[in-house]
Each structure stands twice: as C-alpha cells, then as structure tokens.
Amino acid sequence: MSEPESPTSVSAVHAPETASPVGSRGAPVIAAWLRDLIVSLAISAFIIVFLYQPVKVEGTSMTPSLADQERIFVNKFVYRLEPIERGDIVVFRYPRDPSKSFIKRVIGVGGDRIRIDDGQAYVNGKALDEDYVSPAYADQRSFSEMLVPPRCYFVLGDHRNMSNDSRDFGPVAAEYIYGKAVFGYWPMDKMGRVR
C-alpha cells in the first residue's frame, strides 16, 4: 500500500515560484526610495549652501529681538537682489577675526553721518527712532560723528550695553556681510519673521 503524498511536499514545490516575484518587486521600491532620498538631500544642500542657512544665536547682544541660543534662518541670497538697508539684521564675519560670525542691526549705510549722544543714535542729523531697543538694554554711551565709507555699514546690537559693535570695531565692509536674518524657528514661541 502506498502512502499518500504529504501536503508540505506540494507547497515546497511551489515555494520558489512565489518567492521570486516578491524579491523582484522589492528592488524597484528600494531604488525609488533611494532616488527620492538623494533628490531630497540635493535640494536641501542647494537651499542651505545658496539660499537659507540655519544659524544659532550665541550671546545676548541682540536681546530682546534675538535671544541667546535662538535658532534662525539666514537668507544668503537676498543681497544679490536688493541692497542692505537700515534696520536689517545682518550676519557677517567679524572684521578683527573673520573666522567668527556676528549678528547686528544696520544703523547706517555708506554716505550716512552717524553719531550717538548719551545713547541716542543720530543718522544724518536726525534722531533715530529705535523701538527695538528696550529701555532696560539702552546705555548712555556716546560716539563721535563719523561718515560711513562707501560699501560699508555701521552696525549696533539691540542690547546696547552688552554689544561689541561698530562703536568698537568700526563700520563693516559689504564683503564681510553674508546674510540677512529672516525667520526664527526655535524656540517655538519666537517662531516667525525676524524684525
């Protein structure tokens, strides 16, 4: 008497046929995923290198506008399309040590006459309305009138009594400025356009 065939022997015969289509479908899925990942990384690299750069603020010289350890995006392309203006918050290489970066507010542009009397800044003889400088952070420091050279910018920190700025190192040449602070993203309560 012959023994009946085991059901497992039948499924074992069909196992190789069902395994190959699964393997062949997995390869295109992985390839598509890798392609999308590479494209996403390339776009991100382009944005960071040429357009926007994330930056961490270190120090309190821009308080209350920007706090210590706040994270912001800097637009590195904007000044190719438009001029640097008074009131812009710019990121630049420190003139006395270009390996360091500073962030300050532009008070005067090339051709402006700047002076500070007992903490009040004057541009071309007119008192500057600086609502971004809190009375708690103002100082009484004076600065003799100077003419800002062409393609240079006079910059000050918003926390005047804690800022190393153009009163100390002079105007900043245009080639040292590499971006404009545009958007804060951390902490969440400060998320939004930088003013």
Which residue in the list 65, 76, 104, 166 is annotated as catalytic? Answer: 104
| CA dist., res. 112 & res. 125, Å (int) | 10
User: What six digits make up the tokens of 171?
Assistant: 């105007």
The beta-strand segments (E) located in the chain are 52-56, 71-75, 89-93, 101-109, 113-117, 120-123, 126-127, 143-147, 152-156, 172-173, 177-186, 192-193
Whether 126 sits among the annotated catalytic residues: the reply is: no
Give the CA radius of gyration of the chain: 29
Chain position carrying tokens 């190192």: 169
Which residue in the list 61, 65, 163, 166 is annotated as catalytic? Answer: 61
Q: Taking a C-beta distance cutoff of 8 angstroms, is the pair 181, 74 a contact?
A: yes
Whether 104 sits among the annotated catalytic residues: the reply is: yes
- Which residues are marked as active site? 61, 104
